[in-house]
Amino acid sequence: MGMSHDQPHSTRVIVLVGLMGSGKSSVGRRLANAMRVNFYDTDEMVAAATRKSVRELFAEGESAFRLHERDALIDALERASQGSGVVATGGGVVTIPENRADIEHRADAVVWLDADIDELVARTSSGTHRPLLDGGARGKLEEMQQERRSLYESLATLRVSTKGRSSLPSPNTSWPNSDRSPDDSSS
Ligand code: S3P
C-alpha cells in the first residue's frame, strides 16, 4: 500500500541494514528519536530474549544465533508495523532469505549504510563483542563485504554512503515539539 502525503500519521517502518560498524544502531536510535517513534535493535533483542551475549550464542554455533536473530527480527517488524518504528538489524540478517523476504514485505524503506573498509575497521576496533571479527577484523570485513554487498544492494530502497560522516546530531535538527520523546520499547 503506497503512502500518500495527506496521511502524515500513517504507519512507517524503516529498516537499517549494513555491515558491522556501519552505524545502524547509532543512526537508527537518532532517527527514531527525531521521528518520535520506537526503536528496535535486533542484537539487543536477542540479548534480552536469551540473556546471553552475541559471543556466548556464537559459541553454540552461528546457526543458533541466526535462529534467535530471526525471532527478534520478526518481533521487531511486527511491533514496528503496529505504529511506526525504526529497526536496526545485525549485519548478517540479510544472509537468511526468509529475513530478506520479511524485511521486503514489512518495510516502507530499507536504508543501507554503506561504509568503506577503513571506516568499518576503525569503528569495530573497540570492544570484543563481535566474534566474527576474531583473528583479523580487516580480512573478515572484506570477506563479508564481498559476500553481502549484493544482498544489501538488492534489498535497499536507499543507499547512504557513510564516508566521512559521523552520527553526531547536526546543529539544525531541533524540532518544534522535540521535548516529546518516544517510549523506547527495544529493551
Ligand atoms: C553480525 C553482526 C553483528 C551481530 C553478530 C553477527 C554479522 O551485529 O549480529 O556479531 O554477521 O555481521 P552488528 O552489525 O550490529 O555489529
How far, in Å, CA of 88 to CA of 27, rounded? 9
In angstroms, what is the span from residue 159 Cα to ligand 1's centroid? Answer: 19
Which domains, ranges and CATH numbers included, belong to the chain?
13-161 (3.40.50.300)
Atom of ligand 1 nearest to the CA of 21: 16
**pLDDT class of 47 with cuts at 50, 70, 90:** very high
pLDDT band at 7 (very low <50, low <70, confident <90, very high): low
Contact 53, 47 (CB under 8 A): yes
Cell of 84: 511506526
Cell numbers representing residue 115 in the block: 561504509
Q: What is the pTM of this model?
A: 0.86
What's the gap in Å between 69 CA and the centre of ligand 1?
Answer: 10
Which numbered atom of ligand 1 lies nearest the CA of 46? Answer: 9
Q: pLDDT class for 16, splitting at 50, 70, 90?
A: very high
pLDDT band at 182 (very low <50, low <70, confident <90, very high): very low
Is 78 in contact with 85 (CB distance < 8 Å)?
no
Query: Quick one: residue 21, left, alpha or beta (phi over 0 = left, psi -120 to 50 = alpha)?
Result: left
Residue ID of nearest Cα to ligand 1 atom 6:
92
pLDDT digits (tens, 9 = 90+) for 68-105: 999 999 999 999 999 899 999 999 999 999 999 999 99
Average pLDDT, the chain: 87
- Is the CB of 92 inside a 6 Å radius of any atom of ligand 1? yes
- Evaluate if residue 118 carries a pLDDT over 50: yes
Please say if the pLDDT value at position 10 is more than 90: no
- Looking at per-residue pLDDT, the higher value among 164 and 71 belongs to 71
What is the Å distance from ligand 1's center to 90 Cα? 4
Nearest CA to ligand 1 atom 11: 92
Q: How far is the CA of 20 from the centre of ligand 1 (A)?
A: 5
Q: Is 120 in the pocket of ligand 1 (CB under 6 A)?
A: no
The answer, yes or no, to whether any atom of ligand 1 lies below 6 A from the CB of 54, is yes
Q: Measuring from atom 4 of ligand 1, which residue has the nearest CA?
A: 90
C-alpha cell at 11: 504507519
- Which residue's alpha carbon is nearest to atom 15 within ligand 1? 90
Q: Rounded to an integer, what distance in angstroms lies between the CA atom of residue 7 and that of residue 74?
A: 26
